[in-house]
Chain A
Amino acid sequence: MTEPSTAPEAVKKVSAPPPAAIDHGHDDHGHEAHDPIHAANPHLAHHFDTPQQQFDAGKLGIWLFLLTEVLFFAGLFCAYTVYRAMHPEVFVYAHYFLDTKLGALNTCVLLISSLTAAWAVRNAQLAEKRALMLNIVITIACACTFMCVKYVEYSHKFHDGLLPGKNFQPKEQIWELKSFRDRHPEAAEYAEKLSKLDEKKAAPAAPAAAGKAEPAKVEKLERPTEEELEPLLAAGLVGPRSLDPSAHISRPRMAHVFFGIYFFMTGLHGFHVLIGIGIWIWMLVKASKNQFGANYFGPVDFTALYWHLVDLIWIYLFPLLYLIH
C-alpha cells in the first residue's frame, strides 16, 4: 500500500495504480480474508457490512415490492369501482351466482395461513427449526386448500356457462337459482311468468335472452308488487339496462363484464398464491438445512410479508365480489 509521502513527486505518482500487493486469489473483494463479521455470518453478502444492514435493506426492498403489488392490483380495483358505480345492476345480478360460503371458507383459510406465516418468522428468528418447518408446511397446506376451493368454484362456473367476457352464456336463469329463490321468492315467480311470456313471443322456444321481439298477442300481466319487481330491477333483468329491453325479461347488458373482472381478479390473485406456494417450498428447503437463526431470517420474514399481502388483497376481494347486497 503506497502511503502518501511528503515528497511533491508523490502527487504525480499517486494517480497511477499502485503496484500489485498481495494476491488473494479469487477472493479479491478488498475484504481481508479474515474479516470476522463475514466469516461468522456465512449468509452475509459481500457488499453488506453487517447482518443488520443486510436485513434492513431486504426489509425495505420487500416493502417497496409490496408497494408495487398494491398498485398492480389497483388497476383491477379501479376497473371494478368504475363498473360498479356505473352499472350496479350487473353486480347485483352476478352475485347470486357466487357461493358466499366458499368465499368465506377461503377467507378463513388464508387468515389462518397468515398466522402460521407470522409465527414462522418468529420461529426463524429463534432458530426453532422444527416449529418453523411445521408452520411453513401448514401455510403451504392452507394455500393449497385455497387453490382447491378456487378450483371447485371455477369448475362450477365453467360448468354453468359463466365464462369470462364474450363467452358468457349462463345455463341457468338467475331466477332459477336457489340463492335468488330463497331471498326473493315472489320475484322469482314473477320472473318465471315474464320469461314464459317471452318464450311464447319468440318463434322457436328460445329463452328470453335471445330477444327477438315479435309482437304477438301479449298476455297482460297484473301490475307487479314491490317485492316482485324491485329485485328484478336491481339486477337489471327488466328495464332499460337489460340486454334486450323489448323482451319482458333478460339479463343485464353488461353482465359478462362482471365475470370478466371476477375471473381476472381472482385469477391474478390465485396466480400470486401459486407463486407464494413456490417460495414457501423454497423456504422449507432452506429451513431444513438449518440456515435460519438470529442473524439470518430475512428470507422467511420477507416471504411472510409477501404472503400477508396476498391475504390483504383477498380481504378486500372477498366482500367486493362475494358480499354484494
Chain B
Amino acid sequence: MYGWTGKMLRVDLGMRSTKVEQIDEEILSLFLGGRGLGAYLVYTEVDPDIAPLDPENILAFCAGAMTGIRVPTGGRASMSTLSPLTGTIFDGNSGSQFGVRLKWAGYDALVISGRADTPVWLEVDEEGAQIHPADDLWGLEIPEAVGQLKPPNSAVVSIGPAGENRVLFASIADESGRCYGRGGVGAVMGAKNLKAIRASGKARAAIADQEIADFVKYEAGKMVKASPRTSQGLPEFGTSVLVNLMNWYGVLPTNNFQIGEFEQSEKISGERLRDEFLTKRSACWSCPIGCKRITKTKKEKGEGPEYESIYALGSSLGIDDFEIIIEANYLCNRLGMDTISCGATIACAMELVQRGALDSELAFGRADLLLDTVKDIAYRRGMGDQLAEGSKRLSARYDMPETSMQVKGLEMPAYDPRGMQGQGLLYATSNRGACHLRGNMLGPELLGAPKMLDRHTPSGKAGILIVLQHTNAVIDSIGMCKFVNFAIGDDFFARLMTSITGREYEAQDLQLAGERIWNLERLYNLRVGFTHEDDTLPPRFLDEPLKEGGSAGHVVHLAEMLADYYRFRGWTEDGVPTPRKIAELGLAELAKEQSHA
C-alpha cells in the first residue's frame, strides 16, 4: 500500500487491551483518511444514542495519505468523536506533530474506546500500544504533562485541567499549543481518564511515484511563493493579519456580535502583535507558509494568539488590552480549552449581565476579570462551572437563548455573517456547528480567492459553498492545511494523491469524496436527532441589521440560500439526503447497515 499504512491501532482502556487491525484499502480510497476515515469510524462504531462522555464513545485519531510525507503542509491529522458540546459528529484538526508521529509509528488511525479506572497515559510506537499509570500527571497543565513524557523524536498530546474537569469545550494539545481545539474533544479524553498520548516511530509510508510527487511538490511550492497570502501575509503576521481587515469590512465581532467593528482594533491588530510581542515565526511540520507565532508579554511567553482567539478573548469581550488577551490565550493553551468557545461563552455571560439576567461583575471591557474567569472555567469554580457548559446551555439556564452566538451548540468564529452572506450559510449548515473551517467563504467573499464575489448578495452562494465544503473535507482528510488552498486547488491535491497513493485521482474524484464525507456526517447527525431546524443562525443575524461599520444595514438572508443549498445538494426540502444521492455516493450499504443496527 502506498501513502497510507493500512493499519489501525485499537485501544480499549476499560479492558486494557490493544490490537492492530488492517484497514481495507477501499475504505481509505473512498474516505481518504483523516477526517473522512474518522467520520466512517464514528458512523459505524458510535451508537448515536450514547452520551458523548460515556465510555462507548471513541476518540479516533486519523492521519491522511499526506500526513508525515514531505509535501507542502503535509503535517496535519484529524481526531473524530461524538462531541459533548454539540452532540454532533465532530472532528478536530491539528498541525501538532502528533499526527505525523502516529503515521511514522505505522498507523493511519488510533481508535481509543472505554474508560480507564484510574488516570492513564498511552504510549504508541511501531510495536503497538502500552497503557501506563498517570496519577502523577493528573492535574498538570499541558506543557508540564507533555514535558514529563516527551523524549526526542516523539510527539505528545495531552489534556489539561479543563479536560480532566470535563469542560465541554476542553481541547487536546501539544506543549506549544497546537491543538485539536474545538467541540470538547478534551472532555471526551478526560472522561476516559486518559491524560496523554505519546507517539514515536520511524516507519515511513511508501510513495508510489516519487519522481512525479517531487514535480508536483515543486510546482505547488511555486504557487505558494506566488500567492501574497501564503508567501507574505500569513508568514509575516500569522492569522492575526485579519484583525484590521475584518474590522474594515465591518465583520469583526464586538461585544458578543452586537457590533461589527471594534474602535480599538489597532490595539489588538496583527501589526501590533508583530511589532511589540512577536519573538519568533514558526511553522508546523513540512509547512512552507509558517503562520505560527511565538510571542512574549512582560510576564510570560507562549504561542499565538491566532486571529480567532484575538476576537474571542478581545473584541467580542470589548477588551483592548492586548497583553491580557495574549495571556488569556496562553492560559487556554495551558489549561486545555478552545479559545473561541471559551471567549464566546464569556461574551454570552457579559451580555446576560448587560441585560440584567445574570448577577456578576463580568461586563464588556473588564479585562481585569479575564484571566481569573478563564481559570474558574477550567477548574469549574463558582460561576466558571456554569460557563464550562458552553454558551448554549448557559443562555438557556437564564432563559435568553438569543444571547448565545452558536449553531448546533458550537460557538461562532470571528466573522459576523451579516457582512458575508455565504459565511452565514456555512455556519448554519456545517455538520459540526458554527465553524469557519468547513468551507470558509472568507476567500471568495472578502479576500478575492479564488475570485471576489459580492459579499452582500445571497444569490449563487449555495453552489459555491457546497464546492468549498467538499474541498475542505478533502483537505482535512488527506492531511494537509487549508491555508495551502489559497495557493493550490483540487487539481494539485489530485495529482499529489495519485503520485503518493498510486491510485488515480482526478479533481472531480476528490470532490466526490468530499461530498461522500459531508453526506456521511450529515447522515450521522440525522441519526442523532438533528433536523433542518438546526440549520439556522441566532436570531440576531436574521433580524437585527448591524447599525454601523462596513456591513451596516445587513442581515443574513438564510432561508433563500438554504432552500438552494438543499436542492443543489440533492437533498429533500427538509435537508435529508435522498436515497438516490446516498446511492450515488456509494453510501447505500453503509446507511442500510446502520438503519438495521
Q: Do A and B bind each other?
A: no
